[in-house]
Amino acid sequence: MKKHFALSSACVALTIVIGFSAVNADDSIKQQILKLFPQADTNKDGVISDAEEAAVRRQVLKRFSRADKDGDGVLSDAETKAVLRQAAKRAGKNNPNPGNSRTDSAKKKPTHANVKYGEHERQVFDIWLADSSKPTPLAIYIHGGGFKSGSKEKLKSDSLSELLKAGISVASINYRLLTTHPLPTAHHDAQRALQQMRSRADEWNIDKTRIAAFGGSAGAQICMWLAYSDEMAKPDSSDPIERESTRLTCVASAGGQTNNSPEFWNQTIGHLLPEGKSGSLLVPASGEQDPEKLRTAMWGAKTLEEANEIAARHAAINIVSADDPPIFMSYGMKPNDNPPTSPARLRGWLIHHVNLGIALQEKTDALNLEAHLKYPGAKTEYESLVDFFVDKLLKKKEN
């Protein structure tokens, strides 16, 4: 049985800076935006403000999702620069707009679309079956979006095509959102979807002993919870789906939050910020701004103590043990990068920071458990989650 670290209820929300003077800002991005997309200067003052830059990033992320290479739901400076470089190459062709670039709309249609695994409209998944005479491995994508938004359509076409080409079938799930259902509803939905896929393994030519999960941000949290939880199958259940295993062969996360404890957040990223105004990483909801009430409601609890206890049971660092599968983690910044100066970008940068992955890797190293951590400039055994999955789902089977 896994043990969980105790959480203090005294500290509820991580104190962060939400307003401060510039810290080594990368003005080249703003200058390039102004040059390529002068319409982004909405107040016509000849300068791209932090807010205007953030608006451009949001537009690109919304309409050009493939730019988010690590799938963490946030455009890093490196990813933004890559988009701008591509736009610059097209600058002589009809005043290019990154929002008009090729999107995932060209994604291959699923073999089976909107397969129901529950009664709610969001309890559905798509599945693409690799062409093979033998049972194939399966990689399940779980989308991000802060548990409040996102959809199975966020699966990137590049990842899909590369996995299918390698002979790995792919699924992408929706789950019920925090806007209508408290956590850990989303986690339990993913568990049910996984078990239903296993229950149809013969029908879909899937090898149920080779199943992986991958996702970014909130999806990464769910993936790690599945990977690091003890077996949750119920062998004596009258429901055959509940009798299916919940264990994974391997897992890949992008920008994943590895712990839910406010103390953990203070320890891992609090020191990165200069002094200034403070706020909470928790986003106000339904007019509520009190951190304690927000955290309690988020976890469907009656008290803060109960919320902390539930949150602890769904945090990767708390539940990982030596018998768990290998993980490939990716993050969009270096450990010593300076925080963005834009308040609009700061929160996203903080909650997807590489220090969260470093903390988990320290725990896995202590357990002698395989973990790979990729970030800009880091040398890793695997270049991508596809390389990682090919090795763990295909090559290991061949050996």
At residue 16 the predicted structure's pLDDT band, cuts being 50, 70 and 90, is very low
Question: What is the residue-wise DSSP string for 271-314?
Answer: GGS-S--EE-SSPPBTTB--HHHHHHHHTT-SSHHHHHHHHHTT
216: which residues sit within 8 A by CB, 6+ positions away?
68, 70, 71, 72, 73, 143, 144, 253, 254, 255, 256
96: which residues sit within 8 A by CB, 6+ positions away?
36, 87, 90
Instruction: For residue 214, report the phi and psi dihedrals to the nearest 5 degrees.
Output: -150, 155
Q: Which of 118-122, 144-148, 281-285, 318-322 has the lowest mean pLDDT?
A: 281-285
Q: Assess whether pLDDT exceeds 60 at residue 28.
A: yes
**Segment 201-223 mean pLDDT:** 98
Q: Which of 161-170, 189-198, 213-222, 291-300 has the lowest mean pLDDT?
A: 291-300
At residue 275 the predicted structure's pLDDT band, cuts being 50, 70 and 90, is low
Query: Residue 45: what pLDDT?
Result: 53
Length of the chain, in residues: 399
Query: Residue 396: what pLDDT?
Result: 60
Q: Assess whether pLDDT exceeds 50 at residue 266.
A: yes
**Segment 189-216 mean pLDDT:** 98
Q: Give the 3-state secondary structure of residue 209.
A: strand
At residue 37 the predicted structure's pLDDT band, cuts being 50, 70 and 90, is confident
Q: Assess whether pLDDT exceeds 90 at residue 321.
A: yes
Distance between first and last Cα of the chain? 31
CA 145 from centroid of its chain's CA atoms: 8
- 345 versus 281: the higher-pLDDT residue is 345
Asked whether 249 and 137 are in contact (CB, 8 A), the reply is yes
Rounded Cα distance, 241 and 201, in Å: 12
58: which residues sit within 8 A by CB, 6+ positions away?
none
- 342 versus 388: the higher-pLDDT residue is 388
pLDDT digits (tens, 9 = 90+) for 40-97: 866 555 557 677 777 888 788 777 777 887 777 777 777 888 888 888 877 664 444 4
Q: Which of 127-141, 275-289, 311-325 has the lowest mean pLDDT?
A: 275-289
Query: Residue 342: what pLDDT?
Result: 79
Query: Residue 106: what pLDDT?
Result: 59
At residue 104 the predicted structure's pLDDT band, cuts being 50, 70 and 90, is very low
Long-range contacts, 350-354 (Cβ 8 Å, 24+)? 350/16, 350/269, 350/272, 350/281, 351/217, 351/255, 351/257, 351/281, 352/72, 352/73, 352/74, 352/217, 352/255, 352/256, 352/257, 353/268, 353/269, 353/272
User: Which residue segments constitute the domains of the chain, with CATH numbers given?
Assistant: 23-100 (no CATH), 107-262+293-398 (3.40.50.1820)
Q: Assess whether pLDDT exceeds 60 at residue 376.
A: yes
- Give the pTM: 0.80
Query: Residue 11: what pLDDT?
Result: 40
Angle at 339 between CA 362 and CA 328, to 5 degrees: 35
Q: Assess whether pLDDT exceeds 80 at residue 152.
A: yes
Angle at 346 between CA 341 and CA 351, to 5 degrees: 150
**Segment 347-356 mean pLDDT:** 93
To the nearest 10°, report the CA torsion of 107, 113, 118, 119: 110
Q: Return the structure tokens found at 76.
A: 């890093």
Q: Assess whether pLDDT exceeds 50 at residue 21.
A: no
Q: Assess whether pLDDT exceeds 50 at residue 18.
A: no
Query: Residue 25: what pLDDT?
Result: 39
Query: Residue 355: what pLDDT?
Result: 97
Q: Assess whether pLDDT exceeds 90 at residue 369.
A: yes
- Nearest residue to 154 (alpha-carbon basis) of 130, 178, 125, 180: 125
Question: What is the residue-wise DSSP string for 365-391?
Answer: HHTT--EEEE-TT---S-SSHHHHHII
Query: Residue 203: what pLDDT?
Result: 98
Query: Residue 43: what pLDDT?
Result: 56
Query: Residue 1: what pLDDT?
Result: 47
> What average pLDDT does the chain have?
85
